[in-house]
A and B are shown apart, each in its own frame.
Chain A
Amino acid sequence: MLELKKVAVSGTLESSDVQIVLEPNPGKGIQIDLESDVKLQFGDSILETVKKTLKKMEVEDAVVRINDKGAIDCTIVARLQTAVCRAAGIRYDWNKEALNASR
């Protein structure tokens, strides 16, 4: 399990971006707080994406506050990956990515 050590922010409030604030939540699981310009149409999809990404990065306890300005899926993933690394204080192991590459 990847432990989050501090609060971290990533992304911006620019159109088509998403700002994510990640907080440690020791022992209490994943708690997601979603604000989105497109909540009705994509709210469920965004929650799925966030849960899937956190699982892949082995984060089990976190408070995730999302302020979405219409970011597409890959942007949400990227901002979340950034926030996780910042909150956990780690450098991302890109070598692992190579094993997951879908080509």
Chain B
Amino acid sequence: MPAAKQHLFRTSLYASGASPVNMQQAVFYNEDCIVYDMEDSVPQSEKDAARFMIYNMLREHRPLEKHVQIRVNGLYTPYFAEDMQAAVLCRPDAIRVPKVESAEEVHKICARLDELEKAYGVEQGSIKIWCLIESHIGVLNAREIAGASERVEALVLGAEDFTASMHATRTKPGWEVFYARNMVLMGCRAEGKACIDVVFSDINDLEGLKEDARMTKTMGFDGKTTIHPRQVDTVNAMLTPTQKEIRYAMRVLDAIREGEKNNKGAVSLDGNMLDVPVMLRARNVMALAKAAGLKIEGDYYDM
């Protein structure tokens, strides 16, 4: 099981490499991850311009408190090679690669990253990969993609393209992506990687967004991609531990500490055994709470 993460991944917001004002303003919202985009939001005729925009913007105005990512164009597009060069030079925390379908593709991308990091004097292995799973093949291969390399930090499910590949219709209740969500999530959990849920595209429906984000949380996703700044706070709030959850986690950790002090083998709380998964979940809740900047009495953050 992975250690509690340094960085929160609750929300990701895209900033288009085709729009300077978009990139300038995106840094002021509360998203955990900011994704500078070279792909879908940039028209074909402007792919060259987007590379220069993102490179220069990140050199001069890199946001210090966010997880910085760059979405390059797909592996099989004519833009991929130069996108990767410019992206590595930016030293992002992660590169998002669209339409990943197999472990083999991940290996190709990793090989390219190894070369570029070496050539450009970037610390080897420091740039992570976030794989966008956007087709039925990708979903079927989720586990092998997640486990294909140390560099793979997260899988992100892209519902729109996936639904198209399935000949399905995208709906708010989302049953058409339910299996895909589970499949990708299980693959990530099996390989100890983070998993990011699909977007909710109706930016005017905040109630609907809340419901969808509730599903995101209940299923166990680490985060959700947002498509508009006004969605960010709602999703952050949903994916941050509640006071109730934090209080319970504190009680669990207290009980475990007591048990250790008194050299008790097994510990229980409210009639439930506090085994390893429970303890890890409690630690995870506290880690999330800490990363979210919540103020807690006591030293639970260091347990």
Contacts and interface: CB of A to CB of B under 8 A. Distances in A.
Contact of B57 (A10, A78, A98): A78
Interface stretch (B85-93, B157-165, B240-248, B256-264): B85-93
B99 to A, nearest CB: 23
B145 to A, nearest CB: 27
A79 B51 CA distance: 10
B20 A82 contact: no
Contacts of A101: 89, 120-121
A98 B49 contact: no
Majority DSSP secondary structure for residues of B touching A: helix
B86 A79 contact: no
Contact of A95 (B49, B52, B119): B119
A103 B53 CA distance: 19
Contact of A75 (B51, B56, B89): B56
B302 interface: no
Interface in A22-80: 71-75, 77-79
Given A86-B48, A95-B119, A98-B89, A16 B24 contact: yes
| Contact size range, A | 20 to 34
B119 A16 contact: no
Contacts of B120: 98, 101
A79 B49 contact: yes
Contacts of B275: none
Contacts, number: 67
A60 B142 CA distance: 52
B52 A15 contact: no
A16 B85 contact: no
B52 A72 contact: no
A16 B20 contact: yes
Contacts of A14: 19-21
A74 B56 contact: yes
B104 interface: no
Interface in B16-30: 19-21, 24
B20 A17 contact: yes
Interface string B79-114: 000100110010100000000000000000000000
B85 A74 contact: no
Given A74-B59, A97-B89, A81 B52 contact: yes
B301 interface: no
Contact of B89 (A10, A79, A94): A94
A85 interface: yes
6 contacts: A17-B21, A71-B20, A74-B60, A92-B52, A94-B85, A97-B89
Interface of B: 19-21, 24, 48-49, 51-53, 55-57, 59-61, 82, 85-86, 89, 91, 119-121
